[in-house]
Amino acid sequence: MRAVSADEATSSWDLGMVPRPFRVRKNRRELNDVVTLELEPESGEPMAFEPGQFTMLYLHGIGEIPISISGDPSHEGVLVQTIRSVGAVSEGFCNLSEGDMVGVRGPFGRPWPVEKTDGKNLLIMAGGLGLAPVRPAVYWALQNMDRIKKLNILYGARTPDDALFPSQLLGWEAVDDVKVLLTVDRPVDDWYGRVGVVTDLIADLDIDPQETIAMVCGPDVMMNFTIQSLRAWGLDGENVYVSLERNMKCAIGWCGHCQMGPHIICHDGPVFSAPEVAELMSVWEL
């Protein structure tokens, strides 16, 4: 169980079940069914967060869902969240316009351990929408390139058109000591890049696994395979982190929905080291 200090528990953002009003500043369409919302607190009080944390987003009378923060942690005044429309609530968020209001609770959860990357390589591996929850760690790394060795981003999408943040990926690739590799499951006619699963890209890395911290985010199966592949590559499990997803109704440890074995994912996670969860992830229907 994660120990939480008294300060943390009584932060002014902690109102249990009651959200705070935010207003949509921008709704940018990323993909057919994915948008990125920029939200501003009505109170003007910025919501500080750490890379990997999430919020509970509430839409009047419709419902509330957990969504990772995908923005830059150094820009506190604006809350950036990337949402895929998969059901009633997420669809409602995707359809919002500038000036619309939403409710926000959070930020919640254990963040990516960015401090651990000091003097090391940071390896980001993401599948599909999994790039959104690791993007804050990428922003952090780009602002701290003097503290880390190299930043490697391996990203797998279904098709080239499903790749999230494509122009940003290109921009990051142009930065010194940053390498971005993209692969797709299903190519289209004018695709000259890689085809295959994201773990295939590990072979192309020219960094020392002993000197690397990996942050992995994607569907459960992808993360499971990636943990195994990274171990085979020579990366110690202690240095591999994943972000897990379970049903969450409260995000504050009251509702019981997000349990996985010993873990209450909303506050013990969603970020875990591989040894904390690898075995549990392979248990049937846990």
Partner 1 sequence: MEGTSKILPAERFDVLFEVLKKQGFDIWGVHEKDDALTLAPIDGPADLPRGRIDDTGPGKMRLIDGSRDAYFDHTLPMQGLKRLVYPPQDKVFETGEDYMFTEPPVDAKPIAVIGARSCDLVALETLADVLENGPYPDHRFAERRQALCLVAVNCTRAAKTCFCTSMNSGPRAESGYDLALTELFNSDGHRFLIEAGGERGQAVLDAMSVDEATDKDRHAANIISSTVAASMTRSIPDDARETLKSSYDHPQWSDIGERCMDCANCTLVCPTCFCSTIEDRSSLDGSIAERWRRWDSCFIRDFSYIHGGVVRKETASRYRQWMTHKLTHWHDQFGRSGCVGCGRCIAWCPVGIDITAEIRAISKTGEAVVEAGVS
Ligand X SMILES: Cc1cc2nc3c(=O)[nH]c(=O)nc-3n(C[C@H](O)[C@H](O)[C@H](O)COP(=O)(O)OP(=O)(O)OC[C@H]3O[C@@H](n4cnc5c(N)ncnc54)[C@H](O)[C@@H]3O)c2cc1C
Instruction: List contacts with ligand X (CB under 6 A).
Output: 54, 63, 65-68, 82-84, 86-90, 129, 132-133, 245-248, 270
Q: Is 171 in the site for partner 1 (CB under 8 A)?
A: no
Distances (CA, A) of 96 to 9, 20, 21, 36, 38: 32, 17, 15, 11, 11
Paired residues of 243 in beta bridges: 271
At 204, give phi and psi (nearest 5°). -85, 0
Q: Which of 48, 86, 175, 195 binds partner 1 (CB under 8 A)?
A: 86
Q: Which does 261 bind (CB under 5 to 8 A by kind): ligand X, partner 1, none?
A: partner 1
Position with the least CB separation from ligand X: 87
Where are the strands (E) in the chain, listed by range? 20-31, 34-41, 54-59, 63-68, 79-84, 101-108, 121-127, 151-157, 178-184, 194-195, 212-217, 240-243, 259-260, 263-264, 271-273
Nearer to ligand X, 131 or 151 (CB): 131
* CA dist., res. 242 & res. 180, Å (int): 19
Nearer to ligand X, 235 or 251 (CB): 251
Least distance in Å: CB of 10 to partner 1? Answer: 9
Q: Which does 77 bind (CB under 5 to 8 A by kind): ligand X, partner 1, none?
A: none
Nearer to ligand X, 154 or 217 (CB): 217
Contacts of 266 (CB under 8 A, 6+ apart): 66, 108, 109, 248, 250, 251, 252, 253, 258
Least distance in Å: CB of 94 to partner 1? Answer: 14
In the complex, the residues that contact partner 1 under the rule CB under 8 A are: 1-2, 4, 8-9, 14, 16-21, 42, 58, 60-64, 86-87, 90, 101-103, 245-247, 249-250, 252-257, 259, 261-262, 264, 267, 283-286
